[in-house]
Structure 1
């Protein structure tokens, strides 16, 4: 079933070879996806969230795997324009929804930096936009929100945990959502590491206190001095600082967990090296005697439902730093790559 007429072509940002986004992206006209079948749903994109992973994918996916006119992006909000007969009944034509695309769609270059997108409802994380959340906000909460839920799952942070938690990069897209989720899940204390100008913002998310990483450099030495006698139960690193993990015994409990979701500054090769060392080098041979956790994001529909419950309970709010026009995608990706963003960035595609 379909709603109003759907054009034969649409505008889309595409790339056909790997590389930096400024060199490979083009805004062109491409065929609109065909009407959905089975459990598929066709969406008209309103807004799309910007994430550093967008440029990572364009840079690292091998040439042989990049299809012609691949479309980047991972999350969006929009309107259901048509649905296959097997799509869930509550996703009706005309509904406003938010969605995080499955990993398979990302690898195939079927992202939402375009006017229309067709996805399988069985493999995508889709939710109706709850009351109190704008379509702009809905476009950029899904991916980081699901990641925050996964961090709790893999870090074994149960409801009412009463833990003391350190978040490195607390003002960023994922860090800002995780701080709120951690507080909502019952953390006793959440300490956010950020720059001084972002301190008030992070405290407003529910953090107990903030640490300016510039004033208190080197950070690991400050943490050992300040928290050596009262170490954290859990550390989340959204930036990717290897030294923060190797020195973590100075401020992380022996049975605590160190979760990394950030890209290391020294490049993809060294990131792989660090991850292998952290996970496989035993403490009795000189490795760091603290649990290291890293995982592959999963678009689990169960988590997006729990996330929307927290939104309805007003325990999580979305903080948008800037909304870019559709033609300004490269500018948005430039800013996202700086990792100096307070909250989230949004691309206006079709608008409300």
Structure 2
């Protein structure tokens, strides 16, 4: 009995013709024997969940640095919320849920400590620049398993690399900006649906903003409650896409406009708020100090066996710092820069 083949046959019968089928994957970087139980995309999802980089996400900042409360989002809870939203939409559209979940769970593996503050520092100091989505791909291709990587399928790797949109359009017309699969494109949208809503929720919890501060036009279109806003965005994508039936993802224009306005509001009133931005500046300063320290003194994490001679010290430093949790980065800063009393 080969359960994997049965599952692949079920995919052919049940999933949309537009869905990516695990039996038709473009393959892995290195050929390997197929599993008799799990499909290729199931194996990718499982490999990501068991990765060290995935476990470290629980101690990486989403927006609020080292929050005192237990209910603020971390990079891990953000990832889980993205996966949940993406799977809901994938199931409704009869797309491949396993592929969708694998991309969602892996999309932020390369994110730095202290959120986008850390990313900005590495991008500034590394001559080659730094982008977290490229680092996420580097994690699964190379850094995990002592330089062997996870050997994921092409579709998952493509989705991880193409998930980020920054301040750009949620659904850009330029197809080169999008993942090749609809599953990868879904994760891109799920990512922004997740952070728009949970960052707003955390900002309200932290008294950074009040409910009355949220643009009324956004509340009118999206809803007044956290769950209602997520539901509005998710349903708009599902039903607009089903109605168009043209092989592309769609969201109602009024909902897109409300999402864009809400994103602008978060940048202006939350991400750049003095109480948030001030802490980000502190994080940037001490990460810069760590970067320059490693540049001058070398790395304590010198896994020379995984690098070739052409790998620059800047790349090694980026790998090291990007892999840190917030608390590990703080502990290293204290170790190298905070004076300690002389033992008597």
TM-score, length-scaled by structure 2:
0.27
TM-score (norm 1): 0.27
Greater share of helix: 2
